[in-house]
Amino acid sequence: MPKLNQEAELGKLRQDIVSKRDPNKPCITICSGTGCHAYGSEKVASAFMEELEKQGLGEKIDLRRTGCHGFCERGTLVVIYPEETCYLRVQPEDAPDVVQSVREKRIIDRLLYTDPITGEKIVRESEIPFYKYQERIIFGDNRKIDPQNIDDYIALGGYSALPKVLFEMTPDEVLTEIKKSNLRGRGGGGFPTGRKWESTKNAPGEPKYVIVNCDEGDPGAYMNRSLMEGNPHSVLEGLIIGAYAMGSHEGFIYVRAEYPLAVDNVRLAIKQAEEHGLLGENILGSGFDFKIEVHQGAGAFVSGESSALMTAIEGRVGEPRPKYIHTSEKGIWDKPSDLNNVETWANIPFIINKGVSWFNSIGTDRSKGTKIFALVGKVNNTGLVEMPLGATLRDIIYKIGGGIPGGKKFKAVQTGGPSGGCIPEAYLDSPIDFDELTKLGSMMGSGGMIVMDEDTCVVDVARYFLNVLRDESCGKCVPCREGIRQMLRIFNRITEGKGEEGDIELLEEISEVMRDSSLCALGQTAPNPALTTFKYFRDEYEAHIREKRCPAGVCKALISYYIDPNKCQACMICLRDCPAGAIEGGKNLIHVINQEKCTKCGTCLEVCPPRFDAVRRMSGEPIPVPIPQEERVISRKEKQ
């Protein structure tokens, strides 16, 4: 590939790529994002490749392995263009049938999405409710692009914002556009991106650095990963534009090493962009130079914090700096360094191409544009969701997520990972934007959204997040390290039934000091899951502490299983399945749980046939005394 030396050459390349592609030629796209990969999309893709060969259709039907489509719950996802026929849960064995059906222009009913209410089959991907109600801008091209092929990105108009910036705008004009767009950082705090850029641009010192933060680490969140894996060029294009605006000639992409596919794809993308003259020296003949280095993180959550991330890039242990100076002014090697999240960077080409007024038309008053959320937990349709800011939690959880599985009741949604909080049902209609979530005591974070149903114990959830931070705090400052240690201890006590009056108040006292005096945001926000659950679910804490009862029936030390002798039919099922051998009884002998041996795994409750419904989970009440041995015999009527 000869380097493109002018804007016109890029335009010509785009035309060439597009003209060689017949929009009516069938193309089978196979999602190869993380979720589908785990479902075995690799095997599905090989099966399709073999089958195309076998049926001699290699020339007539294209095959494309794309980035994450988002509907991860139903992987492996296969979409056939131009009809946009969407097949779910595709297995390697389905390949022959699917390939044949493409040739015959036939639809395979059994692989389609079935509407859970109407039972109607839905053919087109965009009409499946999960996709229908989304507004996919940043994430939209993921499913159409082979991330390892730059041509795919270019064909869809990729790298068209870059020449516009390089040849038609001054760096100041670019900065003004981003400032006017009111774009806010997608990584956590929601700081205005334009202001951050401005501060780096104006800070004294050379060189200046620009950095992509792909150290995503919230439990359950994987939107940055999917964007980096699925459409790395969109991030690169944003980064190059930012570098131009700020006068930077060197950039870093910080990706955690646990994201190997993201590392591979972005490295390849950089190589391809360099080969095309879109990166490196004299980009597109404009005279602007910019190079990018990929830095792999060693898996520390705290390295997502800007100063810790920069310390890690310098080659030292990723710990936050105590200095009260923004990294945008003094970052890597004390040089001005602008750090933005993957998703923030991916927004830039869109803002340049479509304009500020378009961007400002999406979202709420103070939060513009869309946001990608990782919708996980107790929800029917888990996956990645992109919505305009200002959409309600109810829209996301019910319209797109399809509600709570198994007819269970919604309890709370946890946003923002270990720094966020639990939001109860009363606020389901709150618009989601940076400020609203903060008002509720939670935060946007990078967009993680964990849905919880009535079987979730919020005390246990708050305990879980503290336990995550116990490992993930760097351990440098006292309030964070020792605060988490003591908070976790108290939480452990409460969930073990050893909670005492005054525990909540003590936890609140520690929380306040952690918020006030921790060195970095990790410690300052660490109490959030606890504080929001105190606020919205205080009665559950009180039940644990005062009544030694876990209302959700989760905390093992506070629950017991009991077989109702009046209902037990001595069917032997639970007795056989109990992994602890804790159930006594026999054929025609009513079963009784030996509470000493019981490990409270809940198997008996799960396996007891619903028509008997004899096993009960109890909490906060005494277990009835087992009936005497002699009364346990069941006399059944002889079969006639």
Q: Which residues contact another protein by CB under 8 A?
A: 300, 302, 317, 322-324, 469-479, 481-486, 488-489, 506, 509-510, 512-513, 516-519
DSSP state string for 499-546:
--TTHHHHHHHHHHHHHHH-SSHHHHHTTHHHHHHHHH-HHHHHHHHH
Distance of alpha carbon 344 from alpha carbon 13, whole angstroms: 28
Nearer to another protein, 151 or 319 (CB): 319
- Rg of the chain (C-alpha set): 28
DSSP string, 58-114: TTTSEEEEES--S-GGGPSPEEEETTTEEE-S--GGGHHHHHHHHHHT---GGGSEE
Which residue, 351 or 469, has its beta carbon nearer to another protein? 469
Nearest distance, CB of residue 525 and another protein, angstroms: 15
Cβ proximity to another protein: between 289 and 509 the closer is: 509
Which residue, 148 or 492, is less far from another protein as judged by CB? 492
Strands 250-256 vs 291-297: parallel, antiparallel or unpaired: parallel
3-state secondary structure of 346: helix
209 - beta bridge partners?
250, 337
Closest to another protein by CB, 283 or 302: 302
Shortest CB 487 distance to another protein, Å: 10
CA dihedral (630, 634, 639, 640) positive or negative: positive
CB contact at 8 A, 491 and 382: no
Closer of 264 and 496 to another protein (Cβ):
496
**Choice between 144 and 476, CB closer to another protein:** 476
DSSP notation for 270-312: HHHHHHTTSSBSSGGGSS--BEEEEEEE-S-GGGGSHHHHHHH
Task: Considering only the C-alpha atoms of the chain, give the largest distance between any 2 of them, rounded to a whole number of Å.
Answer: 97
Distance CA 199, CA 141 (A): 32
Question: In sequence order, what are the beta bridge partners of 368?
Answer: 363
In the numeric block, the tokens 């509720």 are attached to 440
Asked whether the beta carbons of 368 and 181 are under 8 A apart, the reply is: yes
Least distance in angstroms from the C-beta of 6 to another protein: 49
Q: Is the dihedral of CA 331, 333, 334, 337 positive or negative?
A: negative
CA atoms within 13 A on the CB side of 224: 32
Q: Tell me the C-alpha distance between 526 and 347, whole Å.
A: 29
Q: How far is the CB of 322 from another protein (least distance, A)?
A: 3
Number of Cβ atoms within 10 Å of the Cβ of 169: 17
Q: Structure tokens of 564?
A: 């109702």
Report the residue number, 516 or 539, with the smaller CB distance to another protein.
516
CB of 56 to another protein, least distance (A): 57
User: Which CB, 324 or 631, lies closer to another protein?
Assistant: 324
Find the shortest distance in angstroms from Cβ 195 to another protein: 18
- Tell me how far, at minimum, the Cβ of 481 lies from another protein, in Å: 6
Whether residue 207 is preceded by a cis peptide bond, meaning omega within 30 degrees of 0, is yes
User: Which one, 325 or 633, has the nearer CB to another protein?
Assistant: 325
CB of 78 to another protein, least distance (A): 42
The least CB distance from residue 512 to another protein, in Å, is 8
Which DSSP category does 392 fall into?
B
Backbone angles phi, psi at 33, to 5 degrees: -70, 180
**What is the number of alpha carbons within 13 Å of residue 383 lying toward its C-beta?**
26
Query: Given the complex with another protein, which of 27 and 519 has the nearer CB atom?
Result: 519
**Residue 194 vs 320, nearer CB to another protein:** 320
* Closer CB to another protein, 229 or 472, in the complex: 472
Quote the least distance from Cβ 475 to another protein, whole Å: 3
> Least distance (Å) from another protein to the CB of residue 309?
15
Residue 192 DSSP label:
B
Q: What angle do CA 33, 39, 44 make, to 5 degrees?
A: 85
Closest contact distance (angstroms) between CB of 502 and another protein is 9
Q: What is the dihedral of CA 47, 52, 54, 58, to 10 degrees?
A: -140
Toward another protein, which CB reaches closer, 461 or 480?
480
Q: Which residue has the tokens 């019910």?
A: 398
Tell me how far, at minimum, the Cβ of 506 lies from another protein, in Å.
6
Least Å distance between CB 553 and another protein? 28
Min dist. Cβ of residue 472 to another protein (A): 6
Closest CA to 470 of 537, 418, 531, 396: 418
> For residues 454 and 411, is the Cβ–Cβ distance under 8 A?
yes
Q: Closer to another protein at the Cβ: 514 or 543? A: 514
